[in-house]
Amino acid sequence: MKKGADMMKMMTFLRTSLLLVIAVVFCSGFALIGKGYQVYKEAESRIGLSEKVQEIRSKDTFTSIEDLPETYVNAVVAVEDKRFFTHPGIDFLAVGRALLHDIQAGRYVEGGSTITQQLAKNLYFSQEKQLTRKIAEVFVALDLERSYSKEEIFELYVNSIYFGDGYYGIGSASLGYFELEPSKMNDYESTLLAGVPNAPSRYAPSKYLDRAEKRQLQVLRRMEACGYYSREEAETVAETAALAFAN
């Protein structure tokens, strides 16, 4: 009888402890979201989203999506955010995968960022990995998705990212590396530049062409996996000789 009573007490204690843990986690998570929301509101109060967008669109080298090669658009989507045109700004599958990697690493190492989230970060936040900044980034991403089309978000993203050698935006990078307007880039050039923003200091073609082409192979594999290229087409692009870069 006493043994049964002790077991009941233990079960009650465990249930109570579990409920307390859940409550603490819930409250902590709610507080963290609140802090992230505050960071988001403070950022947008300093300069509004429409003003940030206009800053990008006013650049001399701004390139509309209609003037970008289809291969370049497909390459960026394949390597950066394959569900870009279907998700609401947040890719919950990617977030879940990133969370698993973070748990395995025991620290924040991967965020599962979409193109929209990366644009939000480029518009308002630093590259520092902080959870509150990540939450703020989500709020900005949702604002972007409410206010702009997917095509507009893509334009803003590729016109604001860094390609190395002082080139910000695809227009500047295409002119700087190839002496070409973006619309004139071939498949080799398009897929090469699609991979550079992942790590511009490592992949700038003018300095590290070998590295850039290894990264390009990753882009081509992603494009093949997404159905943009057949194996033969991907191999043909990979075998294309590099063009001379602008001095």
List the pLDDT tens digit at each of the 247 positions of the chain: 555 555 554 555 455 444 444 544 444 555 677 788 888 888 888 999 999 999 999 999 999 999 999 999 999 999 999 999 999 998 877 666 655 555 455 455 555 589 999 999 999 987 666 778 888 888 999 999 999 999 999 999 999 999 999 999 999 999 999 999 999 999 999 999 999 999 999 999 999 999 999 999 999 999 999 999 999 999 899 887 544 444 4
What number of other Cβ atoms are within 10 A of residue 110's Cβ? 16
Residue 109 token pair: 């190492």
Residue 73 token pair: 């658009």
Q: In the chain, what are the domain boundaries? A: 47-238
DSSP state of 182: G
Q: Which of 159, 170, 231, 219 is nearest to 191 (CA)?
A: 219
47-238 folds as Penicillin binding protein transpeptidase fold (1.10.3810)
Give the pLDDT score at 186: 95
